[in-house]
Amino acid sequence: MPVAAVSNNSAGAVTAYLAAHRLAEHVSPVIGRAYAEPGRMKPNPEPILQAVRSLGELPPRCVLVGDSLSDIEGGQAAGVRVIGYANRRPKVEAFRAAGADFVITSMGELARVLLGQ
C-alpha cells in the first residue's frame, strides 16, 4: 500500500523526520507547505490532491490520517476518507463533530481501521 505524507510543515523537515526514524523508504511522495503561499496549506485540498495524483489514485480510494481539524477539513474537501488521530482526548469529540470517517486514539488502532477489523 503506497503511503504519502502531506504536511503544513516543510517537506525538508518531514523528510528529515522520516529519515531519522527509518521510515523514509516507506513514504513517497512527501508534500510540504507551499513556500510563501499560506493559502495553499491545509485545509486547502490542493496538497492532498497533489499526493493523490502522485500516487496515481482517485480520491475515494485514498485515506488521510490527520491530527488536526485542518487535516479533516482538507481531506473532506479533497474527497478522500479521513481518519482523525486524536493524540489528545479533547480532539475525539472535535474530530467526530467535524465528520471524520473514523477517530482513533492510538496508532495501534490504525491497522485495524484500515483493514476493516
Residue 87: which CATH number? 3.40.50.1000
Q: What is the greatest pairwise CA distance in the chain?
A: 42
Q: DSSP letter string over 88-108?
A: STTHHHHHHHHT-SEEESSTH
| pLDDT one digit per residue (tens) for the chain, 117 residues | 889 999 999 999 999 999 999 999 999 999 999 888 899 999 999 999 999 999 999 999 999 999 999 999 999 999 999 999 999 999 999 999 999 999 999 988 888 877 776
Q: What is the pLDDT of residue 16?
A: 97
Q: What is the pLDDT of residue 112?
A: 80
Q: Residues for the chain: how many in total?
A: 117
Sign of the dihedral defined by the CA atoms of residues 40, 73, 61, 23, in that order? positive
Total structural domains within the chain: 1
> Could you list the residue range(s) of the whole structural domain that residue 70 is in?
5-114
CB 64 within 8 A of CB 84: no
Q: What is the pLDDT of residue 111?
A: 80
